[in-house]
Amino acid sequence: MSEAALKETVTRLAEPVVRALGVVIWGVEVAQSGRMTVRLFVDVPARGPEEPAQAVTPGGEEIEAPASASIGQCEEISRHLGLALEVEDAVPSAYVLEVSTPGLTRLFFSLEQMRPYLGDVVEARLHAPLAPEGGAESVAAPRRLWRGRLAAVEADAFVLEPVVVSAEGEVSPEALPPVRLSWTEVRRASRMYIFRQPVKQGKGPGKEPGKKPEKAPGKGSRNTPGGTSPEAK
């Protein structure tokens, strides 16, 4: 089965349970490095400008509308989808099934998905190197990876205003003209979540170097909200 056919099959099999749980399919990704990984991304339906930010329970109680699908919803979808894939024997080789939300650094599967994120920083990886239109190679050598603020979304392309993101999370304009990227040239495009590193104690402006407070010994924990990654055969 081709990758495109597998994505269509996953979408078809997941749609009934996704719809029943009140969420929508954001996209399907298939990673072929090592053991195959099939990733299904689900999200809450987009609200229009006139729609309230509250939801109403069956009992009539108003609650804040969820910002994304819950862990429980992802687990439920994973169970149903994993069983459906096994019944149809859709994936002949060993694979891993992951169901999660798109998260803050969400991967875009269509230009329409990008429209609500105008002004955000987007990272685009291309199939082939590309230079800005009208820019001499001495000014901007062709590159496969572009990062920039999303300035416009067109019918078949989007425009980035190039930026530089420092290790500390500082975003500054790059001295380059805007670059127009055709959707057919893009291999992968995603929103960048910019995390600004906090100023260390004693390192900020007007502060004398200080000693870090001692930490009490303890155990740490790590979890990954918004998804589940059961392994299937």
The pLDDT score that the predictor gives to residue 47 is 54
* Alpha-carbon gap, residue 194 to 192, rounded angstroms: 6
Band (pLDDT 50/70/90 cuts) for residue 41 is very high
Evaluate if residue 170 carries a pLDDT over 80: yes
Band (pLDDT 50/70/90 cuts) for residue 34 is confident
Q: Which of 109, 145, 110 lies closest to 127 in space, CA to CA? A: 145
* Alpha-carbon gap, residue 228 to 97, rounded angstroms: 9
Of residues 27 and 219, more confidence is placed in: 27
Cβ atoms 131, 140 nearer than 8 A:
yes
DSSP E strand stretches across the chain: 24-31, 36-43, 54-56, 62-64, 95-100, 121-130, 143-153, 157-165, 171-173, 179-182, 186-191, 227-228, 231-232
Evaluate if residue 57 carries a pLDDT over 90: no
Instruction: Quote the tokens at residue 207.
Output: 């502060």
The pLDDT score that the predictor gives to residue 195 is 79
Band (pLDDT 50/70/90 cuts) for residue 92 is confident
Share of the chain above pLDDT 70, in %: 73
Q: Which of 18-22, 165-169, 171-175 is predicted least confidently?
A: 165-169
The pLDDT score that the predictor gives to residue 214 is 54
- Region 218-229 average pLDDT: 44
The pTM for the full model equals: 0.74
**For the chain, what is the mean pLDDT?**
82
Compute the radius of gyration of the chain from its Cα atoms. Answer: 22
Q: Which of 139, 188, 196, 184 lies closest to 162 in space, CA to CA? A: 139
* Alpha-carbon gap, residue 162 to 132, rounded angstroms: 10
The pLDDT score that the predictor gives to residue 225 is 41
* Alpha-carbon gap, residue 125 to 181, rounded angstroms: 10
Q: What is the pLDDT of residues 175-215, one digit of tens each?
A: 899 999 999 999 999 999 887 777 666 555 555 555 555 55
The pLDDT score that the predictor gives to residue 68 is 83
Q: What is the pLDDT of residues 110-132, one digit of tens each?
A: 999 999 999 999 999 999 999 88
* Alpha-carbon gap, residue 157 to 159, rounded angstroms: 7
Cβ atoms 95, 39 nearer than 8 A:
no
Band (pLDDT 50/70/90 cuts) for residue 59 is low
* Alpha-carbon gap, residue 14 to 80, rounded angstroms: 8
Evaluate if residue 52 carries a pLDDT over 50: no
The pLDDT score that the predictor gives to residue 125 is 97
Residue with tokens 């399919």: 25
Evaluate if residue 230 carries a pLDDT over 90: no
